[in-house]
Amino acid sequence: MPIFPLQAFLLPLSENPWTYLVFGVIGFGFGYVLELSGFGNSKKLAAQFYFKDLTVFKVMFGAIVTAMVLIFLSSAVGILDFNLVYVPETYLWPGLLGGVIMGFGFIIGGFCPGTSVVSAATFKIDGILFLLGALFGVFAFGETEKYFDGFWHSSYYGRLTLMDVFHLPTGVVVLLVVFMALFMFWGGEQLERLIGKRDPAREPRLRYAGAGALIVVALTVLVLGQPDAADRWARIASAKEASLAAREVQIHPGELLASRADDKLNVLMLDVRGEADYNMFHLDGARHVPLDQLGALVPELLQQPAENTVTVVMSNDEAAATDAWKLLQAESVSNVYILEGGINNWIRIFGAGERELTPTSIPVGSDRLAYLFPAALGSRYEAANPDANEWKVEYEPKVKLQRKRSPSGGGCG
């Protein structure tokens, strides 16, 4: 897949040190815009809570909505993979309480953490003191979190978006959010006129062009729609098919056995066969996820830490597992591998000593169980959980862990 010029800058730092320059330019530009908008002035920031000056609300909400429409437009045209965009996990009640606490702090101190940095950068005393207080608060939270850890990790909803909450297409949500934002911008101007005695006629007329542009881009997102797994696979197929053909992603059963015994690895085994075959025999710890239900598991897989998680898909041979691998690759799940030869190959290696597992004449590659079983015992067969210390199997190591994609800060924090 060709790399766009901007994407070249966003490669890992070890591959492209110029990324530091990109981060620096973005950070300087963000701080400059905040200072230019008056966000280094605590009086201007606090005025929004008294509905006299809603510049803070309009600038921040405008930036959020603009980022939203550009992100989903980029996703619609294939420049950006939204699955690779870090979405903070939702902890509902701790999040709501944190928002209330931060709101009170914003009103009392006149800053949020981000704007206090802007103020401190221009050597304003109140901004410096607020920033020091915020740093002390971070330290105090870290030292006391253990006392309310249960609440802190409660009401977990994972990677939750408005599309998930309302079960609406992305384009519809984007358009509705844009209309909501424009209505709130208009309402904010009315509050400023009534309470802050500001004259809306003196506001820049260019804001109407910006509003129109937001609507046009949102409508474009609605019309184009978002790529599905098949679309995403088509964009990466040439490179990924080469990996399949070179047998780079099919790992030997011996490597899977060794990986399961490695305490440093989080090995997820996904058995995509039908329920009857899974009940007949499956590896100990393997999770049954039929191929047609695998897509629903993607959000959970995307939350796994990429630096130590290995996902192995398996079927009787490799056909269904290969389809599962393609789906997970299209959804940008990290470190996904196929069990080489499938369950049949696993039994051939580790079940050779079990007399009750009788080979059949089913041809290799038919993706059907090639063994007869006296009963559907699932993972209670000895071959389902061999001892890694007792088996010395030669294989070519293929598992290579990708780097973890670090979350980034956002909003006022």
* Average pLDDT of span 204-212: 91
**Per-residue confidence (pLDDT) for residue 403, from 0 to 100:** 60
The first and second tokens of residue 78, run together, are 């294939």
Identify the pLDDT of residue 4.
Answer: 43
Give me the pLDDT at residue 405, please: 52
Q: Cβ(317)–Cβ(365) under 8 Å?
A: yes
Task: Give residue 30's pLDDT.
Answer: 84
**What was the pLDDT predicted at 147?**
94
Question: Is a pLDDT exceeding 50 seen at residue 112?
Answer: yes
At 302, list the tokens: 């995307």
Residue 413 has pLDDT above 80, yes or no: no
Look over the chain and give the mean of its residue pLDDT values, rounded to a whole number: 89
38 Rama sector, left if φ>0, alpha if ψ -120 to 50, beta otherwise: left
Q: Give the model's pLDDT for residue 14.
A: 53
Taking only the tens place, the pLDDT of each residue in 219-246 is 999 999 999 999 999 989 998 999 999 9
1 confidence band (pLDDT: 50, 70, 90): very low
Q: Domains in the chain, start-ordered, CATH in brackets?
A: 5-227 (no CATH), 230-384 (3.40.250.10)
pLDDT confidence of residue 88:
86
φ/ψ of 87, rounded to 5, equals: -110, 115
Outline where DSSP puts E strands in 90-130.
90-91
Give the tens place of pLDDT for each residue, 148-203: 999 999 999 888 899 999 999 999 999 999 999 999 999 999 999 999 888 888 88
pLDDT digits (tens, 9 = 90+) for 59-90: 888 989 999 999 999 999 989 989 888 888 89
Share of the chain above pLDDT 70, in %: 93
